[in-house]
A and B are shown apart, each in its own frame.
Chain A
Amino acid sequence: MARKLPRKDVVVIGLGWTGSIIANELCDEGLDVVALERGPWRDTATDFNIGYAPDELRYNARQELMLRPAQTAVTARNNADQTALPMRQYGSFHPGNGVGGAGVHWAGITWRFSPADFRLKSHYTERYGAQSIPEDMTIQDWGLTYEEMEPYYDRFEYLAGVSGKAGNLDGRMQEGGNPFEGARKREYPNPPMMQTFGPTLFAETAAKMGYKPFPIPSSLLSRTYTNPLGVTMGQCTFCGFCTNYGCANYSKASAQTTVLPVLMRKPNFELRTLCEVLKVNLDSTGKKATGVTYVDTSGDEFEQPADLVILCAFMLDNVRLMLLSGIGKPYDVRSGTGVVGRNFCYQMANQVVGFFDPAKYNFNNFIGGGATGMAIDELNNDNFDHGPLGFLGGGSTRCAPIGAEPISKRPTPPGSPTWGSGWKKAMRDSYLSNLSVGCEASSYANRGNFLDLDPTYTDRLGRPLMRITFDFPENDVKMSAYVTKKVAEIVRAMGAQAIDENPRTGPWSVVPYQSTHVVGGTAMGADPSTSVVNPYLQSWDVPNVFTVGANVFPQNSGYNPTGTVGALAYRAADAIRSRYLKSPGPLVQA
């Protein structure tokens, strides 16, 4: 039996990016906030000590910062006719474990979604007609506009100290920035990162071909910076250990380096680590949450009553908690009705590796960072005419030298021997002279892709595992083939002797790492029949429950998600502070 604890104003589930931002905002409002985090406390000097932070075996191979399947696994299958099986190792994506969440081991690329993204279905319908959207593609509008999001993007960018170059300041186009971005009110807080040889060559070549290259917006910082909360971050050293690693230098924006120093000092904030929430408790009407039940590492259960419950866990866990708690109607793939679990999407990670003459090219790939580099946006979203192409969407193309980890980075040109002295020679020859250009592309919702509770497999606490039913839709595979070919043209023009083209193709597999950009499942929107939360991220069914995370994306854009997740956290916090608290109840009438 759960022990009932004294009431709190707010319980925040998960203390990563969104949980930290929301908790900090609501503490500023004077509320008594408790955060429940299933993993351990993590701190820069202790957990990302410079003496071992770049330990590839520990953090990449053994995934020390990530969720372990023994804690919670997922089951996976490609379509509803298959039987899903539990994954024994997280591969395709890496949920974080512990304070900071996946925001500890992210790469740091920090985009705003484009104005068209937020009204995607309307946009495509207006430009190409309703028939351009395939019958099984369930893309939809977000229920808000880019202009409504702008102030919150701004707040997140200044919190994180994003280093970049504006392309559109209040409608005035800026030389050297992204010409496709929505209008921003002011410049990035920090100038762009310095560029190494590879991205410089990419940008020069792309510019000659008519593209408009610009620096990748980076939450690895180009200089020492003190954010509006007064927290100071350091200049990135290009050590090349970002994705899968915590940053030892206070250079990569994360909850640890931007919010927590301030939040943890607040007397009205309390953090309980190693506490896993089992479910959100509802009253007898099912329309009001009374708090949550959680379990600590001793196996003891606690009931934490609260007036407001905010789900800020990893997106899969947010969706799962909604399903386990009976909040919202689960999606039924056969009838196409219900909403929770619907519109689960991913991201199409495409890549072209160029192999250059080792006598002439040395890219020093080990000098890098997850978000340094140059990008072009001509191949993204609807920035090119899809009329004759037979698919929708696209991706952000970037030459981003993320580093060259000594164990796993083993680049060899296509056709090289896969072992022995021939392989060694190919590897040696190409180690310094290979260059990768990626295209992180959109993933559009499909009727057959969804999340639900597995009927067979349970976690260590007896709760059904999340079941992922997903495959890359034909539209996205076509799109990937197209953009990858275009990227290969650029890499060839840069002077590569050999090229390895890797467009993403089906079937989706849980094994190789692709990205942690899984999204959707509790879509936001203006229409309760196709969304789980309203445009303020408030549950349509239980108004004192909010959820913040990539789980509210109705589909995925050709941009990395974190910038939008952070902006949504600020927007939800603002709605709670300025509207909900004055009059608790639905912020939008269904």
Chain B
Amino acid sequence: MTRTRLAVAAAAALLFAAVPSILSAPARADDQDFALIERGRYVATTADCVACHSLPSGKPYAGGSALQTPFGTLVAPNITPDRGTGIGNWTEEDLRRTLREGIGRGGKRLYPAMPYPAYTRMTDDDIRALWAYLRTLEPVSNAVEANQLPFPFNIRLLMAGWNLLNFEPEPFKPDPQKSAEWNRGAYLVQALGHCGTCHTPKTMLGADDTGRALQGANLQAWYAPSITADKRQGIGGWTADQLVAYLKTGANHQSLASGPMAEEIQNSSSRMTDADLKAIAAYLLDRKPPGTQAQTATVAADDARMRTGGAVYTDTCMACHGGDGKGQTFLFPTLAGSGVVQADDPATLIRLVLDGSRAVATDDRPTGPAMPPLGWRLTDADVAAVVTYIRNSWSNAAPPVSADDVAKMRKTLAQVN
């Protein structure tokens, strides 16, 4: 056996090492196989199915809330085993094809709001386990009209063309040069965790721009920041332990998760095994950061926007985030050196100032502190100035923000809220 083949075998073994091993099960698996069902539950958690397929107040997996896409509204369907309104009359093969090819029962083509471009890399064993788990859910009768897109996007057949251009079913390919842990991390990020669904920029057609994978993307009036090893805009300044702490508890030395990431942590990564979180960190922090970007020129300290921004900061922000932008650990995020703060796209930062946000509360970090909304007392120009100031103080460097950017975000938030 060559060294390469050994490495592949080791990687493949570790892919499944974090969860109970059942994998020699034959196709006619016992549908009450405890280990298989448990594994499926973990797959569902890792894939965060519940996030889209449930309403906050509803039964889990019985159908979700409306997802606003650039093309219109989609609603995640009921995936409980209810025969009338769920997937009670599906087969395991129907689920496999859905995840692998984006084609549901009866040839119904899915929209990629369902992240099948990621799930296509799921292993057979994970899909089988997920199927076994979904069969154990309480059937809930809840009819969901998934496709609420306007014409012509509501024609599902269009997705055949879309898939032709943007999608190729492909299995996960481990990198034999990398460790088993790294490959497990790659599988979690690319397949189950579908991190790119939020963090990868999209093309005009709404497909992942794979050339810029995980470099940050704007969705639902949030900017999901870069999770590459870029030191300024990404998470390259974090250690593996710091990234694991963030994913597990929602807070680390620098940051607190809020917005859609708070939901992800609550439903998914806080419930993942430490070994899997370490694997994710090993993979993400090892990826080569995007090519050296031209160093963004810092806005000069004597710029009028910086002077105004500094005054607003002292008056409004400093009590919590500190004169040095360091904040207070687990309570007020560190602004100095933060990727969200220095992202080219300032959407999240503007939004936080205008609208506030509550950090995720987890069993490990139950505080759940909140940034209060301040949009009611700051003008667009004030917000632009203070955001520009924060983005260009304490060695931070990022393009300035205009009052128009703030006005646009106000308008968007008025629609979202």
Contacts and interface: CB of A to CB of B under 8 A. Distances in A.
Contact of B332 (A51, A231, A234, A239): A234
A258 to B, nearest CB: 10
Contact of B376 (A45, A51, A230, A231): A51
Interface in B366-417: 366-374, 376-377
A232 B330 contact: yes
A460 interface: no
A43 B370 CA distance: 9
Interface string B351-370: 00000101001011111111
Contacts of B361: 261, 265
Contacts of B377: 51
A265 B371 contact: no
Contact of B369 (A44, A230, A237, A262): A44
Contacts of A250: 331, 367, 369
Nearest to A257: B367
A49 B373 contact: yes
B320 interface: yes
A236 to B, nearest CB: 10
Interface in B102-121: none
Interface in A267-303: none
A235 B322 CA distance: 10
A50 B376 contact: no
B21 interface: no
A230 B320 contact: no
B328 interface: yes
A36 interface: no
A249 B327 CA distance: 11
B250 to A, nearest CB: 12
A233 interface: yes
Contact of A234 (B331, B356, B358, B376): B331
Contact of B330 (A43, A224, A249, A265): A224
- A contact face: mostly helix, strand, loop, or mixed: loop
B330 A229 contact: no
A51 to B, nearest CB: 5
B366 A233 contact: no
B371 A230 contact: no
A50 B369 contact: no
Contacts of A322: none
Contacts of B330: 224, 226, 232
A234 B320 contact: yes
A248 interface: yes
B259 to A, nearest CB: 15
B371 A45 contact: yes
A224 B371 CA distance: 17
B366 A262 contact: yes
Nearest to A230: B366
Interface string B221-239: 0000000000000000000
A448 B381 CA distance: 64
A516 to B, nearest CB: 26
A45 B359 CA distance: 11
B319 interface: yes
B366 A229 contact: yes
Interface string A187-230: 00000000000000000000000000000000000001010011
A234 B328 contact: yes
Q: Which of A44, A231, A233 has the most CB of B within 10 A?
A: A231
Interface string A3-46: 00000000000000000000000000000000000000001111
Contacts of B373: 49
A45 B358 contact: yes
Given A232-B330, A249-B320, 13 more contacts: A45-B371, A46-B370, A50-B372, A224-B329, A230-B367, A231-B366, A231-B367, A232-B328, A234-B332, A239-B319, A250-B367, A250-B369, A265-B361
Interface of A: 43-46, 49-51, 224, 226, 229-235, 237, 239, 248-250, 261-262, 265
26 contacts: A43-B370, A44-B369, A45-B370, A45-B372, A46-B370, A46-B372, A49-B373, A50-B320, A51-B316, A51-B374, A51-B376, A224-B329, A224-B330, A229-B366, A232-B331, A232-B365, A233-B331, A234-B328, A239-B319, A248-B319, A249-B319, A250-B331, A250-B367, A250-B369, A262-B366, A265-B361
